Amino acid sequence: MFSRKANKPITPFHYLYYFFPVLIFTFIGFFDSIYQAISHYRNFSDMGYQSFCAISKALNCDTVSQSQYSIFFDVPVPVWGILGYGFFLVLLAFAWPKQAEKKRVWTLLLIISLAFSVYSVALAFISSYYIHSYCIMCIISYAVNLALLFYTWIVRKRFACEPFFTAIKLDIQYLLTVPRTTIPITASFAATALVMIFFFPPYWHMNPPELSKLTPTGITEDGHPWIGSEKPELEIIEFSDYRCFQCKKMHYFLRRLIEAHPDKIRIIHRNFPMDHIINPLVIEPFHNGAAKLSVLAIFAMEQKKFWEMNDYLFNISRNTEVLNIKKIAKDNGFDYETMHYAIQNQRFWNILWEDIKEGIKVHELTGTPGFIINGKVYLGQIPADVLQSYL
């Protein structure tokens, strides 16, 4: 009896029990990618945007979106996801007709889902060892890709598809039986991919307006750099960190406001690096190197090149953990030895500490960016109504 049961052929579930889960998972991945693409765009374009999954340092979709690893071949990773899942859905449609015999295109789908899964593992590795933060929506896409891999594999197994390479050949022959459909579709997806690589708008390259020689700049009586109106209607004191993405985004936003209203607004810059080596609010390593970048900014202020250096430091700050002092000096027209000495100059560190101390004790700052307007503190962003009342 045991032998008969052991030799009894396995009767698979009806084909629909396999097809529809694959369809559902693909749609989940497709819409998940759409959400991630929108979130990625808003991270770089919306001054006040914060995704729902920006929960902590370790679990933060925005941190992942803001990293350099969110771009692949000059196109955001979630946009590639939309294209990939879209192609998967189209190919899946060819597995539905009776002519497919419950076997056709599943081997091709298995190859694609395997590629999706390998890419997911690579992204998970990057999140763990380079970004040091995870994205909930990305984790959902990883799970979707593994589910697709499992289901496409199980369909091949349950419905007795041919040996792997034979099945690939038969899948392609099956698709070519309807060339008026498959060739235009395949060509369209390939053309879309090429167009994206060469023409996708690089909205993530945030750049400040060009620093005009006509824009007034100076140093306040207590020694802090300012830019904008000499007699402003609105004065904004910003406490900023060069490794803080929101700081960069808000600073560039304010710079554009100054360009639009040169006679009304003035920004006064203060340093508030969230770096554990100097900021008592930060216990564990965070924004490593931000304090040294602030010291370089203070050095540049004394050389009357603060705003040029300020723009430069915001642009390089998130691309590397290691400071290349020689390159920074060369790019900004400073002597390397002089700049190297400035990093070790205790006087500059004392100036930086005074900024941090005032930010904590006087303004009760708990993070960056922080803005002081008429004695009132705004963290993260400035409410639109506060600006509108002056503009």
Report pLDDT digits (tens) over 187-221: 999 999 999 999 999 888 877 777 777 788 899 98
Q: Is residue 207 part of a domain?
A: no
Residues 34 and 177 in one domain: yes
What average pLDDT does range 46-65 have in this prediction?
79
* Domain-located, residue 281: yes
**What is the spatial distance between Cα 277 and Cα 215, in angstroms, rounded to a whole number?**
35
Burial readout 22-54 (b: 16 or more C-beta within 10 A, e: otherwise): bbebbebbbebbeebbebbbbbbeeeebbbebb
What mean pLDDT is predicted for residues 44-55? Answer: 78
Pick from 199, 226, 242: which residue ends a domain?
A: 199
DSSP structure class, residue 135: -
- Looking at residue 320, its pLDDT comes to 57
pLDDT tens by residue, 58-75: 788 888 888 888 999 999
CATH number of the domain residue 71 falls in: 1.20.1440.130
Shared domain for 140 and 262, answered yes or no, is no
Same structural domain, 231 and 322: yes
With respect to residue 209, please indicate whether it lies within any of the assigned structural domains.
no
Identify whether residues 189 and 297 lie together within a single domain: no
Q: Rounded to an integer, what distance in angstroms lies between the CA atom of residue 354 and that of residue 289?
A: 18
Taking only the tens place, the pLDDT of each residue in 220-251 is 988 999 998 888 888 999 999 998 888 888 88
Q: Same structural domain for residues 9 and 150?
A: yes
Do 223 and 191 sit in the same domain of this protein?
A: no
Provide the pLDDT confidence category of residue 1 given band limits of 50, 70 and 90: very low
Q: What is the DSSP string of 286-310?
A: -STTHHHHHHHHHHHHHTT-HHHHH
Same structural domain, 112 and 152: yes
- Range 361-373 average pLDDT: 89
Does the pLDDT at position 140 exceed 90?
Answer: yes
In which domain, by residue range, is 290 found?
A: 217-388
In a domain, 131, yes or no: yes
Q: What is the CATH number of the domain that holds 377?
A: 3.40.30.10
- pTM value is 0.79
Radius of gyration of the chain (CA): 28
Whether 12 and 136 share a structural domain: yes
Find the DSSP H helices in 212-289: 245-260
pLDDT at position 9, please?
62
Q: Which of 140, 167, 199 is the last residue of a domain?
A: 199
**Structural domains of the chain, count:** 2
Q: pLDDT value at position 212?
A: 72
Residues 174 and 236 occupy one common structural domain: no
Give pLDDT, residue 288: 85
Query: Domain boundary residue among 132, 165, 199?
Result: 199
pLDDT the model gives residue 354: 93
Q: Which amino acid is at 112?
A: I
In a domain, 206, yes or no: no
Q: What would the pLDDT profile of 2-21 be if each residue is shown by its tens digit?
A: 444 556 666 667 888 889 99
Distance in angstroms (rounded) separating the CA atoms of residues 348 and 47? 31
Residues 278, 313, single domain; the answer is: yes
